[in-house]
Amino acid sequence: MLAFAAKRLVGMVLILILLVAAVFALQHISDVDPARAAVGEHASQAVVEAESHRLGLDRPITTQFVDYLGDVATGNLQTSLRTHQPVLTDIGDHLPASIELMLVAILFALPMAIFFGVSGAARWRGTGPFRFLWLILAAAPPFVLGLLMIILFYEKLGWLPASGRTEVLRPPTGPTGFLMLDGLLHGELNVTWDAFRHLLLPGFALALLPAVAVGRTLRGGIITNLRADHVRVARAKGLSDWQVLRRHTLRNAAGPALAMAGLMVGLMFASLTVVEQVFSFPGIGLYLDESLPLGDFPAIAGVTLLFGISYVVVNTLVDILQAAADPRLRA
State the pLDDT at residue 50. Answer: 80
Domains, in order of start, for the chain: 2-30+77-330 (1.10.3720.10)
Find out whether 310 and 318 touch, Cβ atoms under 8 Å. Answer: no
Q: How confident is the model at residue 231 (pLDDT cuts 50, 70, 90)?
A: low
Q: State the average pLDDT over residues 231-259.
A: 69
Q: In the chain, what is the straight-line distance between the N-terminal and C-terminal CA atoms, in Å?
A: 10
User: What global pTM score does this model have?
Assistant: 0.80
| Rounded-to-integer distance, Cα 161 and Cα 167, Å | 9
Q: Mapping DSSP to helix (H, G, I), strand (E, B) and coil, where does residue 237 land? A: coil
Question: What does the pLDDT read at residue 199?
Answer: 93
Task: Please name every residue paired with 86 in a beta bridge, in sequence order, or none if there are none.
Answer: 79
pLDDT, tens only, 113-160: 888 887 777 777 777 787 788 788 888 888 888 899 999 999 998 899
How much is the pLDDT for 300? Answer: 87
Q: Quick one: DSSP state of residue 153?
A: I
Whether 51 and 33 have beta carbons less than 8 Å apart is answered as no
User: Can you give the pLDDT at residue 150?
Assistant: 92
3-state SS class at 79: strand
Q: What is the pLDDT of residues 278-315, one digit of tens each?
A: 999 999 988 888 888 777 888 888 888 888 888 888 87
pLDDT at residue 134, rounded to an integer: 78
